[in-house]
Structure 1
Amino acid sequence: MKRAIYLGTAFILVFLIASCTKDQINSDSSPLEKLSTDQSSSEYLSSDEQILEALNIEDKETKRAYVPGNQSSVYSISNETSANRVLVFNRNSDGTLTEAGSYHTGGTGTGEGLGNQGALTLSDNKIFLFAVNPGSNEISFFYIRGNGSLLLLDKIDSGGELPVSITYHRGLIYVLNSGGTGNIAGFAVNHHAQLFELSDSRKDLSSDMAGGAQISFNGSGKALVVTEKATNTITSYPVDAHGRPGMIHTFPSAGMTPFGFSFGRGNTFFVSEAAGGADNASTVSSYFVSNWGKVSLLDGPFATNASAACWVATTKNGLNLFVTNTGSNDVSSLVATKMGELDFGNDGNTTASDMSPIDAAVDHQSKYLYVLCGGDDSIVSYEIGEDGMLTQIDTESGLPDRASGLVVR
């Protein structure tokens, strides 16, 4: 299902979120039988290994955990109104992708752009996958087999309206609900390998209709960060020893319309600023968040001279970052020092992309970049070269319209 590389030129609206339609539905993605349990229990499993043990899966192939060198896969969600699915693409040794089916989440999507980053996330050891269901206000919990296929374990109400972003750290799962008044909510996995909501974990955003775009733990797992597009605010919360968020902190965004972000090493993170979609006005800024949830600006706003910069992906060392520009149909390569100072990579050149590049993800070896393109419903693969130079090597097309999120296992 490969097609020739196509360079799109049409201008796409700033917050268009798209892609992913594969017709194959795998039947072994049914949830495990529910067990009778006290979902209000404050005890939770704090590691992938503990959750895996609770599953008590006998099949050796199914139970095999992921390690680098085993099958690596790329995942996205279809975000369809009829039935949300996780779309799976296996990675080949040369970085190209091969379609590997799809798995029902048990929930639904919206069929519309979500204005988000982080619709899916992986557990610490890449054994489990968590996905949002924006249409049915739920989150889903999957086990990832050694061959990259999925087993649906559980789903649960997201604790708010329109869940768009999800994050995980040592057994804790937090979701950003951007609909209604907007909030965050926390979850964990109990000893029956089922999801439950943490008491006292719901926290409001800085204001109603804040336009939350993404949530993520910092590197230590002791703070949560949220970008708010409508209020131009970086919101953060400390996380206590019991996994509950503390008092909200707000910090004014250095650039207009803070959107997606990615953590580099430790507690430094990089935020794309779409500037309301204005032509050639996008910026990127770097920040530090302490373990007490306080945010400080390191550098920025750094002008990228691109349009509608909305998504950010970083290499493993946190020193190279890639920003997808939906409006100008290209990808910016930037470099960062260990102190968060920003500059252009790739000699200041952008890399042309297929129509409307949105979500992006880097593989664990930082050799390949994958970009979801909403304008022509595709995933484009790039090889990462010296100084962040990108060489397009593959295109996987025919994804469903309005797919969202991209993670690499």
Structure 2
Amino acid sequence: MSNEQPPPPRHGGHLYLQTNEVRNAVIHYRRSTDGALTEVARIPTGGSGSGGFKPISGQPSAPNDFEGAGSVILTPDRRFLFATNGGDNSVSSFAVGADGGLTPLDVQPTGNPVTGRSGTAKSLAYSPSRRTLFVLHAFGPDHVRLMSVDGDGRLSVRLERYSVNTKDKPDRVATMVTLSPDERFLLAGTTFDQPPTANPDGSAILWVPGPDGAPKSIASNEPDPDGLVVFPVSGDGTLGAASFHDGGGGSPFYIAFLHGRPDTFVLGEAVGDGIVMGTLDGDGGIGIGPLVTVDTSKGKPSELCWLAVSPDDRTVFATNFGYSDVSSFHIDGTEIILAKDPACPPVPGDGTFRALNGTVSSGPSDNWFSPDGAYLYQIYGNASALVGYAVQPDGSLEEITRVAIPYNSPQGLAGV
């Protein structure tokens, strides 16, 4: 008689991706119980994306346009969906119907002007108890802007503005914001302490001469351990003074709280090539565990950026932007263990894009875990593909669906 437990039931649902085209739109997919995706509609946001243009490097077209995450989010009650429009620095809101369909409600500027070819609004976090939307921009000094959300999902920009800069780092590049589960703290990730200059192929130069003439990394948190930024959140949604913490590795890019442990999160280190586990105490203090890295024999950095945590908090999937693949880690209490590296074969792009380590990459970016823990969905911008995987018990991934998406520009995934 077998003691093996039957697999949990699988459920269908909906998935949303923003095209980030100049005429931006959100694509609505229906997810079947076997994980397959079917496109239902493309709903214009009423705002402008970057159209593939990458402001941080000046490349005319490249994946991961804004070096960020969380550009499409759903409210916890699933009534509303919000999406950034990075090209013109605005945010759009939609009503979510019982059938998963989206109805446009509003589009409003973030309050940050656009200078040059594109803006950089790119990451969102929402506080339902305060009806406040936090909007992060890649470039400052006003990295974080606030919007109020009324009961009908309409938006109004607020005057408050906040920075992730420090006195000696006035030009930092931010990546994403996330709200602690109790809504008391807003956490921001960073990637560079100053905008990088570019190689002839458009890839970023990570080293500059230091005060003593020796090479100095511009990756945040290297060498100064201050790459993770924490803001206390007041009852009206305003933010208190920022505190700066060790992010555990170079470029603490992505922050994901565990579902069942609201004081615990994992951090993806884009230049540190791995993930760490962190804790957040009631005063906003941060504790950081050891860095667990992927195999970097293909070259450094791996640009491990995006994370997806399983519903049972036992598995973390990490996207390696530079390697065109995904790695998996297992969580055992307070310990992180590398599980499958890589967890899936690399997905090749069209051969035109090179990552920071010089490898030809398809530039995978945002990912999303289905609530039943059965499927992981991954954007491969330079391959014009959104790929769905069936999650295996050992942490490996088996491709089960693939749909075509616009070239290079898409970012952001949210779903139910």
Q: TM-score range by the shorter chain?
A: 0.7 to 0.9
CA distance in 2: counterparts of 1:93 and 1:123, whole angstroms: 23
**Which residue of structure 2 lines up, in the alignment, with residue 185 of structure 1?**
145
Secondary structure of the residue that 1:350 maps to in structure 2? Answer: coil
**Which residue of structure 2 lines up, in the alignment, with residue 124 of structure 1?**
76
Kindly provide the amino acid, as one letter, of the partner of residue 202 in structure 1: R
Matches within 5 A, 1:285-300: 285-297=276-288, 299-300=289-290
After superposing on structure 2, the runs of 4+ consecutive aligned residues of structure 1 that deviate more than 6 Å are: 68-71
The answer to whether the 8 A contact 1:172-1:186 is kept is: yes
CA distance in 2: counterparts of 1:146 and 1:210, whole angstroms: 41
CA distance in 1: counterparts of 2:237 and 2:172, whole angstroms: 24
The answer to whether the 8 A contact 2:383-2:407 is kept is: no
Unaligned residue ranges in structure 1 (runs of 5+): 1-67, 276-280
CA distance in 1: counterparts of 2:312 and 2:33, whole angstroms: 22
Kindly provide the amino acid, as one letter, of the partner of residue 270 in structure 1: V
**2:89 is aligned with 1:137:** yes
Normalised to the residue count of structure 1, the TM-score between the two structures is: 0.77
**Which residue of structure 2 lines up, in the alignment, with residue 158 of structure 1?**
110
**Which residue of structure 2 lines up, in the alignment, with residue 230 of structure 1?**
192
User: Which of 295, 299, 321 is the equivalent residue of 2:316?
Assistant: 321
**2:98 is aligned with 1:103:** no
The answer to whether the 8 A contact 2:140-2:173 is kept is: no
* 1:102 shift after superposition: 0.8
Kindly provide the amino acid, as one letter, of the partner of residue 203 in structure 1: Y
Change (3 A) 1:139 1:69: farther
Between the two structures, name the one with larger relative contact order (CA 8 Å, sep ≥ 6). 1
Normalised to the residue count of structure 2, the TM-score between the two structures is: 0.75
The answer to whether the 8 A contact 2:140-2:172 is kept is: no
The answer to whether the 8 A contact 1:213-1:228 is kept is: yes
Change (3 A) 1:70 1:158: farther
Unaligned residue ranges in structure 2 (runs of 5+): 1-8, 54-64, 113-118, 194-219, 221-226, 297-301, 349-361
**Which residue of structure 1 lines up, in the alignment, with residue 359 of structure 2?**
none
Matches within 5 A, 1:166-315: 166-170=124-128, 171-191=131-151, 193-198=153-158, 201-207=160-166, 208-231=170-193, 232=220, 233-265=227-259, 266-275=262-271, 282-297=273-288, 299-306=289-296, 307-315=302-310
CA distance in 2: counterparts of 1:250 and 1:290, whole angstroms: 14
* 1:182 shift after superposition: 4.0
Query: In proportion to residue count, which structure has more helix?
Result: 1
The answer to whether the 8 A contact 1:124-1:169 is kept is: no
User: Which of 363, 366, 381 is the equivalent residue of 1:359?
Assistant: 366
CA distance in 2: counterparts of 1:105 and 1:363, whole angstroms: 24
CA displacement 1:157-207 (0-9 Å, x = unmatched): 2132521100113132111012242421222222554212345x4211124
The answer to whether the 8 A contact 2:106-2:155 is kept is: yes
The answer to whether the 8 A contact 1:71-1:148 is kept is: no
**How many residue pairs end up in the alignment?**
332
Higher mean C-alpha deviation, range 163-172 or range 135-144: 163-172
Kindly provide the amino acid, as one letter, of the partner of residue 165 in structure 2: S
The answer to whether the 8 A contact 1:354-1:376 is kept is: yes
* 1:322 shift after superposition: 0.3
Q: Provide the alpha-carbon RMSD of the alignment.
A: 2.0
User: Which of 48, 54, 77 is the equivalent residue of 2:18?
Assistant: 77
CA distance in 1: counterparts of 2:282 and 2:25, whole angstroms: 35
The answer to whether the 8 A contact 1:71-1:146 is kept is: no
Aligned-pair identity (%):
25
Kindly provide the amino acid, as one letter, of the partner of residue 124 in structure 2: I
**Which residue of structure 1 lines up, in the alignment, with residue 390 of structure 2?**
383
The answer to whether the 8 A contact 1:261-1:313 is kept is: no
The answer to whether the 8 A contact 2:11-2:372 is kept is: no
